[in-house]
Structure 1
């Protein structure tokens, strides 16, 4: 799935039954390098994540996780959103790697709040 600015594909090492990555087509650094002007891009990435889940019959959006690895805990230097579902079926290691409120993973919502608060 793609449009003129972002693409979405399955993660090659899935952490959940549905695990997709949404990436900008043009290079954008990691989430720590983003600024307030990137809010529309991150919002668009989340929307595409929701669309791919709906296309794959994932209807319970309360059992999904959208987020980014926070540097230096990111092995890829290109911005990428993890879309995971259902969270309730993630294994032990995936629950650790994509854990909420950890210093290595930030939800899309937390990132958007951080970007919005920038001057």
Structure 2
């Protein structure tokens, strides 16, 4: 996988408002928030998009969701939306798997 904006954040080459980090992942506030609380959870392992994940990534994928839940709780969210875009036509702009966690306002369905 080529270097991405998110790999540069992991390597601290680009600053980010990091709100959580462990050996497997990193969470930071979105620079273009779509809700009062909007952060991303990314794996440190470079996976371009969800459809590129393999069976070996199963525990990591679960970990990303659990971290999203824990950080949402720390941010005071009881209700929140979790979103993963997979591919350019699904609005994925950075090809490093990332989980959006958004809350602090009502959401509509379908999302758009």
More helix by share: 1
Q: Distance in 2 between matches of 1:37 and 1:16?
A: 33
**CA apart distance, 1:66:** 1.2
**CA apart distance, 1:64:** 1.3
1:2 corresponds to: 21
Q: Distance in 2 between matches of 1:39 and 1:16?
A: 29
1:64 corresponds to: 80
**CA apart distance, 1:87:** 5.2
TM-score (norm 1): 0.67
**CA apart distance, 1:41:** 0.9
Q: Distance in 1 between matches of 2:49 and 2:105?
A: 24
Q: Does 1:52 align with 2:71?
A: yes
5+ residue gaps, structure 1, are: 97-119
The alignment's C-alpha RMSD in Å is 2.0
5+ residue gaps, structure 2, are: 1-19
Superposed CA offset, 1:27-73 (max 9, x none)? 11211111222221111001111111111111x2xx31112112123
In the TM superposition, what are the counterparts of 1:63-102 in structure 2 within 5 Å? 63-72=79-88, 73=90, 74-86=92-104, 88=106, 90=107, 95-96=111-112
**CA apart distance, 1:24:** 1.0
Q: How many residues align?
A: 90
**CA apart distance, 1:86:** 3.5
